[in-house]
Amino acid sequence: MQNIDRGFAGMKKEFKKNGVLYLIVLPVIIYYFIFHYMPLYGLLMAFQDFSPRRGIMGSEWVGLTHFINFFKSPDCARIVTNTLRISLSCLLFEFPAPIIMAILINELNGKYFKRTIQTISYLPHFISLVVICGMIKTFVEADGIIGGVFSQITGNGSSMLSQSKMFLPIYVISNIWQSMGWESIIYLAALMNIDPQLYEAADIDGAGKLAKIWKITLPSIAMTIVTMFILRVGKIMSVGYEKIILLYNPAIYDKSDVISSFVFRIGFTNQNWSYSAAIGLFNSVVNMILLLVTNTISKKMTDTGLW
The residue type found at 222 is: A
The residue type found at 301 is: M
Q: How confident is the model at residue 174 (pLDDT cuts 50, 70, 90)?
A: very high
pLDDT > 70? residue 5: no
pLDDT 10s digits, 277-295: 999 889 888 888 888 888 8
Crossing angle for the helix pair 74-93 and 164-192, to the nearest 10 degrees = 40
CA–CA distance, 253 with 81 (Å, rounded to integer): 12
pLDDT of residue 154: 82
Range with the lowest mean pLDDT among 153-157, 166-170, 196-200, 218-222?
153-157
pLDDT of residue 97: 93
pLDDT of residue 2: 53
Residue with the bigger pLDDT between 159 and 1: it is 159
Report which DSSP code applies to 99: H
pLDDT 10s digits, 185-209: 999 999 988 888 888 888 888 888 8
CA–CA distance, 136 with 284 (Å, rounded to integer): 30
- % of the chain at pLDDT higher than 90: 28
End-to-end CA distance of the chain: 35
Beta strand spans in 39-161 (E): 48-49, 60-61
Q: What are phi and psi of 156, to 5 degrees?
A: -95, 115
Contact call for residues 148 and 172 (beta carbons, < 8 A): no
pLDDT of residue 1: 53
pLDDT > 80? residue 79: yes
Helix (H) / strand (E) element for 108: namely: none
CA–CA distance, 191 with 19 (Å, rounded to integer): 33
CA–CA distance, 282 with 269 (Å, rounded to integer): 20
pLDDT > 90? residue 306: no
Q: How confident is the model at residue 3 (pLDDT cuts 50, 70, 90)?
A: low
For 273, other C-beta atoms within 10 Å of its C-beta total 20
Distances (CA, A) of 239 to 24, 85, 91: 32, 10, 11
Instruction: Indicate the average pLDDT of the chain.
Output: 86
> Please, how many CA atoms are within 13 Å of residue 239, restricted to the half-sphere of its CB?
26
For 300, other C-beta atoms within 10 Å of its C-beta total 9
pLDDT of residue 286: 87
Q: How confident is the model at residue 132 (pLDDT cuts 50, 70, 90)?
A: very high
Q: 49 has which bridge partners?
A: 60
Helix (H) / strand (E) element for 205: namely: none
pLDDT > 90? residue 65: yes
- % of the chain at pLDDT higher than 70: 95
Contact call for residues 257 and 279 (beta carbons, < 8 A): no
Distances (CA, A) of 59 to 48, 68, 283: 6, 19, 23
